[in-house]
Amino acid sequence: MTVLGIVIGIASVIALISLGNGANKMISDQISQLGTTNLTVMPGSFDFSGGPGANREQPHGQFGPGAVSSLTMRDLESLQDKASHPTFDSVTGIITTASVLKSDTAEQRISVNGVSPEYFGILNLKISFGNIFDQSAINSRQKVVVLGSKAATNIFANANPLGKIITINQINFQITGVLAEAPESRFNDPNAQIFIPVTTASDVFGMSNLSNIVVKAKSEGDIDAAKADIKKTLLANHGIADEKLADFSILSSADLLSTVNQITGLLTSLLAGIAGISLVVGGIGIMNIMLVAVTERTREIGLRKAVGAKTSDIMIQFLIEAVLLTLIGGIVGIALGYGAGLLVAKFIDLTPVVTLNSLLLAVGVSSAIGILFGIYPAAKAAKLNPIDALRYE
């Protein structure tokens, strides 16, 4: 019974911390897939700093669903001028919408992305067969389309789609290529999407403005300079003198990762704190059981003191017993907690992560509880009078 409370408490803490760390790692890996040097420009003014008092949305206009984007083709062309922006590696504009796609064999609603040719390089999307469209397709507004691997399979099964015609928004498009399968992300699955020239998307869907712009900096060291350059260019294009009134936001992977880490870290700490309550209950259980042990072993304590044991010897004996009990409970709890984390992870597609810090925390806490809640019973045992203890029945 003494060990059980510690086992349950430590197992709960390890399971929750490992699942929290696993969720953090999974999200971090997916954010990294978006590109560590990529900067995403979005319409609307948001603060991603996550600092105290930060507003997630500033009251500078309406940027909700259905609102008109503040990002224009002129903005894209300005940012694509590499001579003016030496820290930029490549830039793509994106128009994202959904439409009904029709072919000879299928009809389905699908995510359509109007993009620049640079999009595929920025997001590291490889071509499986065929070709992606080039700048001439952008300039001439060609009706061509590149399919994601899953989209190609869903529409044409095992047939070769190259050169075939599909209808998007009642307009015919010719398939020029199919992408290789890309890592699936919780944020975005390019395998299930299709891609057309951004200028063509503007004409076909009547969208004069862009959903967002992605700028790839030349290196991680250029990110801050590239971010400042984007802000300066777009403020000038939009005729805005005060950057606090900007009608766009620039998000880097580091910004997003920082915000996610703050949220997941807070939730993990909260869950671990809740689980820690069971450790306190377990500690109280240890103290009660040790007090019972003192009563049951009164004659033993008296005999030991009668043959020369010092008060400190009795004190140390009971403290060692309490610490050993909690350490055993801690080790069993760590194994049980990790096993529970693996079991839960099977149902939520997550890999639990047990760090050295969490193991040291579990062992340290269990030892501390043993000492803390073992002091009073140990002191009570050490203070027993040997004559009275020997007489005890």
| Length of the chain counted residue by residue | 393
Higher-confidence position of 372 and 228: 228
Confidence class for position 200, pLDDT limits 50, 70, 90: very high
pLDDT average, residue stretch 196-200: 94
d(CA 243, CA 58): 12
- Per-residue confidence (pLDDT) for residue 213, from 0 to 100: 92
277's tokens? 């309550």
CB of 41 closer than 8 Å to CB of 249: yes
Provide mean pLDDT across the span 56-65. Answer: 41
Higher pLDDT, 273 or 171: 171
pLDDT, tens digit (0-9, with 9 covering 90-100), for 204-248: 998 888 999 999 888 878 888 998 999 999 999 999 888 888 888
Cβ neighbours of residue 312 under 8 Å, at least 6 residues apart?
Answer: 382
Selection from 371, 375, 372, 373 nearest residue 383 by Cα: 375
Q: Are 333 and 6 in contact (CB under 8 A)?
A: yes
Residue 66 zone, left/alpha/beta (φ > 0; ψ -120 to 50; rest): left
> Minimal CA–CA distance to 35: which of 178, 226, 264?
226
Structure tokens at 1: 């019974």
Between strands 165-168 and 209-210, the pairing is unpaired
Joined tokens for residue 52: 């105290």
Both tokens assigned to 242: 């005060």
Q: Which of 27-41, 117-131, 326-340 has the lowest average pLDDT? A: 27-41
What is the sign of the dihedral through the CA atoms of 271, 276, 282 and 284?
Answer: negative
CA distances (Å), origin 355, targets 17, 269, 317: 9, 14, 33
Which of 115, 93, 117, 95 lies closest to 40 in space, CA to CA?
A: 93
pTM: 0.61
> 295-321: per-residue pLDDT in tens?
777 777 888 878 888 888 888 888 888
Instruction: Give CA–CA dist 175/225, Å, rounded.
Output: 39
> What percent of the chain has pLDDT above 70?
88
Please state, rounded to an integer, the average pLDDT across all residues of the chain: 81
- Nearest residue to 43 (alpha-carbon basis) of 95, 119, 86: 95
Query: What token pair was written down for 265?
Result: 């870290």
